[in-house]
Amino acid sequence: MTMPDSAPSNFIQDLITEDIKTGKYEGRVHTRFPPEPNGYLHIGHAKSICLNFGIAKKFTGLCNLRFDDTNPTKEEVEYVESIREDVRWMGFDWEDRMYFASDYFEQMYQYAVQLIKAGKAYVCDLTADEIRQYRGTLTAPGKESLYRNRSVEESLNLFERMRAGEFPDGSRTLRARIDMSSGNINMRDPVMYRILHAEHHRTGTKWCIYPMYDYAHCISDSIEGITHSICTLEFEDHRPLYDWFLDQLDIYHPRQIEFARLNLSYTIMSKRKFIQLVDGGHVRGWDDPRMPTISGLRRRGYTPEAIRNLCERIGVAKRDSVVDMALLEYCIREDLNKKARRVMAVLKPLKVVIINYPEGTTEELDAINNPEDPGMGMRKVPFSRVLYIEREDFREAPPKQFFRLAPGREVRLRYAYYITCVNVVKDTDGEITELHCTYDPATRGGDSPDGRKVKATLHWVSAAQAVEAEVRLYDYLFLNPDPEEVEEGKDFRFGINPNSLETLTTCKLEPALADATPGERYQFERTGYFCVDTDSSMEKPVFNRIVTLKDTWAKIEKGRKEERS
RNA sequence: UGGGGAGUCGUCCAACGGCAGGACGGCAGACUCUGGAUCUGCUUAUAGGGGUUCGAAUCCUCUCUCCCCAGCCA
């Protein structure tokens, strides 16, 4: 795994460096990645993963994987499995340090008893509704619960019986006794434990009371000897509570540091909305290649290297920000440019007959597998009288700056010959069905001995040997860079891109692709990077377009279209 | 109108009292058997007003704007 030392520093590293200098935590650095196993990880989590594991590595410290599983009604083993897989795939190793907050339930219970004894916590019989009313508002202080001053003995007794299962869900809570008039609502006697007669994916039915995040998280960090507990901005005003519990308990006290979560243009990053996309049939599942989930990106063909690189490039700060999707695309192109084998594939085929090429003849031409890496070698590509080229590569009436094939024009077929279009064949509807071209035998391999130049080089596939395939072209899931920005009264689904998936079923691939296996990535020359989908089979290969190549001509055309409208 | 945060190129991140810099994007150009890659150049920013200072993005002050918080979710 590479995490170059050139990785730019950030304010968190600065704080840690300072802590090391002053001898806080004896110079140790120990972080954790603490997902709740209630859904699949997305690229926003990737930022946190890279940050936490990256910092540990940079300071030769450790990073734990810890599941924050304090809410049995939402959490499932299925998610812990997928999270483990995703973190591992991202290239990080927690070694033997995979923990669960639920591992610490007994200790948390004991600490809670301790807080009750110290008069710092009490059992409250208010209903959820009453608690809400008593909490006050953003501008008005709260009211103290009438149970706030009940005796330590009574609270102790009640808390014990809560654990024993004597009370129904929601009937009582354990609350911290802090300050109902605090400007910080989190400090208005927050709930520490609630009664939940629910089966937990790890502890089964052992518990019917479960700790709340604020109480569980700081204690988990403390138990694991975490030095720097890195979380997102919305927890900033929970920090006083984090500190309060640890101070009251007088136990080892990590430092919480908050950073801005990742947002990406043209996509969303919320579990709730992912579910709406999946349930609404807008995507095919959590691992749909259009989803910003790690599993979606993986299926799409993104590499861990590219995602890690993105995380490094975007930096870490406290300001809310939206990273341009173009940067993610840059990262995957950069990675795949070095690694992906080049191959020819015609997505939207147009038949070409080389009328002066002998019938029934096939020859093998040499092609380079990766011009960026000569070590990847060469391959043979069959050439014959009938070929396919890309429909887009021919224009009967070529516009200005269109260099590709047109009537009477000569272009190069990559690694093959120069050809000239001599005739356009159409059907009764006027649709072009095939092209007749002549080739120049002297240009075999793609160079002309007389030194004449052509302005375009086209990719092509020999018809007789072509492999048929399905190719899925993806576009952004949303039309607007900010999916939240929709018409008054409409929700984010109104902005879904209806054309985020285009399925092509008649694609022609060069025979080298016949035995491509799921997960393999290729560059289809001139069109983009593609990855063999998990739906793929020998009978019917399926490819996902990971990202297009930069396309100057497409940009020119797009510019013209916009000028006209 | 309570509390907590944040404001630097279009976007993201630097600059920690001393020439506002990098990356992506965009725009030009060079090169090219991928209109790819590569290379070169250009473009554009310190929210606003006061103050301190030889010197302010940075320190002080006032104002403005944006984000988060009223789950027995995390």
B38: residue with closest CA to C1'? A372
Residue-wise pLDDT tens digits, A243-294: 999 999 999 999 999 999 999 999 999 999 999 999 999 999 999 999 999 9
Give the distance, in angstroms, between residue A424 CA and nucleotide B38 C1': 37
User: In this structure, what token pair is assigned to residue A300?
Assistant: 């799409």
Mean pLDDT of A537-565: 92
| Low-confidence winner among A47-61, A105-119, A430-444, A479-493 (lowest mean pLDDT) | A479-493
Q: Report the nucleotide nearest the CA of residue A329, measured to C1'.
A: B24
Report the distance separating Cα A243 and Cα A410, nearest Å. 74
CA A264 to chain centre: 10
Q: Which residues of A373-407 are buried (b: 16+ CB within 10 A; e: fewer)?
A: eeeeeebebbbbbebbbbebbbeeeeeeebebbbe
Contact A438, A354 (CB under 8 A): yes
CB atoms within 10 A of CB A24: 14
CA A277 to chain centre: 15
Indicate which residues of A carry an active-site annotation.
Answer: 36, 261, 271
Q: Confidence band (pLDDT; 50, 70, 90) for A5?
A: very low
Q: Report the nucleotide nearest the CA of residue A393, measured to C1'.
A: B35
Q: How many Cα atoms sit within 13 Å of A372 on the Cβ side?
A: 11
Residue-wise pLDDT tens digits, A449-508: 999 999 999 999 999 999 999 999 999 999 999 999 888 778 899 999 999 999 999 999
Residue type, A130: E
> Exposed, middle or buried: residue A253 (CB in 10 Å: 0-12, 13-18, 19+)?
middle
Mean pLDDT of A334-346: 98
Instruction: Inform me whether the pLDDT recorded for A3 exceeds 60.
Output: no
User: In this structure, what token pair is assigned to residue A263?
Assistant: 């947002």
Residue-wise pLDDT tens digits, A205-223: 999 999 999 999 999 999 9
**Radius of gyration of chain A from its Cα atoms, rounded to whole angstroms:** 31
At residue A485, the pLDDT reads 86
Report the distance separating Cα A35 and Cα A45, nearest Å. 8
Contact A242, A214 (CB under 8 A): yes
Give the distance, in angstroms, between residue A52 CA and nucleotide B60 C1': 36
> How many residues belong to chain A?
565
In angstroms, what CA-CA distances link A458 with A251, A388, A408, A554?
A: 69, 10, 16, 15
> Exposed, middle or buried: residue A555 (CB in 10 Å: 0-12, 13-18, 19+)?
exposed
B1: residue with closest CA to C1'? A139
A394 phi, psi to nearest 5 deg: -125, 135
Report the distance separating Cα A409 and Cα A403, nearest Å. 9
At residue A562, the pLDDT reads 79
User: Strand B: which positions are within 7 A of a protein CB?
Assistant: 1-8, 10-16, 22-27, 33-38, 66-74
Q: Confidence band (pLDDT; 50, 70, 90) for A1?
A: very low
Q: Confidence band (pLDDT; 50, 70, 90) for A158?
A: very high
Residue type, A153: E
At residue A489, the pLDDT reads 78
Contact A441, A417 (CB under 8 A): yes
A145 phi, psi to nearest 5 deg: -65, 145
At residue A168, the pLDDT reads 98
Domains and CATH numbers, chain A: 11-259 (3.40.50.620), 265-342+468-565 (2.40.240.10), 345-459 (2.40.240.10)
At residue A320, the pLDDT reads 97
CB atoms within 10 A of CB A443: 20
Residue-wise pLDDT tens digits, A398-454: 999 999 999 999 999 999 999 999 999 999 999 999 999 999 999 999 999 999 999
| Average predicted confidence (pLDDT) for chain A | 96
Three-state DSSP state, A269 = coil
Q: Is the dihedral of CA A71, A76, A81, A86 positive or negative?
A: negative
Q: Report the nucleotide nearest the CA of residue A69, measured to C1'.
A: B74
Contacting residues for A285 by C-beta, under 8 A, at least 6 apart: A278
Q: State ipTM.
A: 0.97
Report the distance separating Cα A534 and Cα A231, nearest Å. 34
Q: Confidence band (pLDDT; 50, 70, 90) for A4?
A: very low
Give the distance, in angstroms, between residue A136 CA and nucleotide B7 C1': 31
User: In this structure, what token pair is assigned to residue A61?
Assistant: 């410290």
Mean pLDDT of A303-307: 98
Contact A559, A377 (CB under 8 A): no
The answer for A528, left when phi > 0, alpha when psi is -120 to 50, beta otherwise, is: left
Report the distance separating Cα A557 and Cα A565, nearest Å. 13
Give the distance, in angstroms, between residue A328 CA and nucleotide B59 C1': 38
Confidence (pTM): 0.96
Contact A296, A289 (CB under 8 A): yes
3-state secondary structure A362-431: EEEEEEECCCCCHHHCEEEEEEECEEEEEHHHECCCCCCCCCCECCCCEEEECCCCEEEEEEEEECCCCC
Instruction: Inform me whether the pLDDT recorded for A389 exceeds 60.
Output: yes
At residue A7, the pLDDT reads 63
Residue type, A100: F
Report the distance separating Cα A81 and Cα A86, nearest Å. 9
User: In this structure, what token pair is assigned to residue A497?
Assistant: 């891109």
At residue A359, the pLDDT reads 96
Give the distance, in angstroms, between residue A390 CA and nucleotide B37 C1': 21
Three-state DSSP state, A267 = coil
Q: Report the nucleotide nearest the CA of residue A187, measured to C1'.
A: B3
- Going by DSSP bridges, is the β-strand pair A30-33/A62-67 parallel, antiparallel, or unpaired? parallel
3-state secondary structure A472-532: EEECCCECCCCCCCCCCCCCHHHHECCCCEEEEEEEEECHHHCCCCCCCEEEECCCEEEEE
Q: Confidence band (pLDDT; 50, 70, 90) for A554?
A: very high
Contact A422, A436 (CB under 8 A): yes
Report the distance separating Cα A251 and Cα A108, nearest Å. 12
> Exposed, middle or buried: residue A517 (CB in 10 Å: 0-12, 13-18, 19+)?
exposed
Instruction: Inform me whether the pLDDT recorded for A370 exceeds 80.
Output: yes
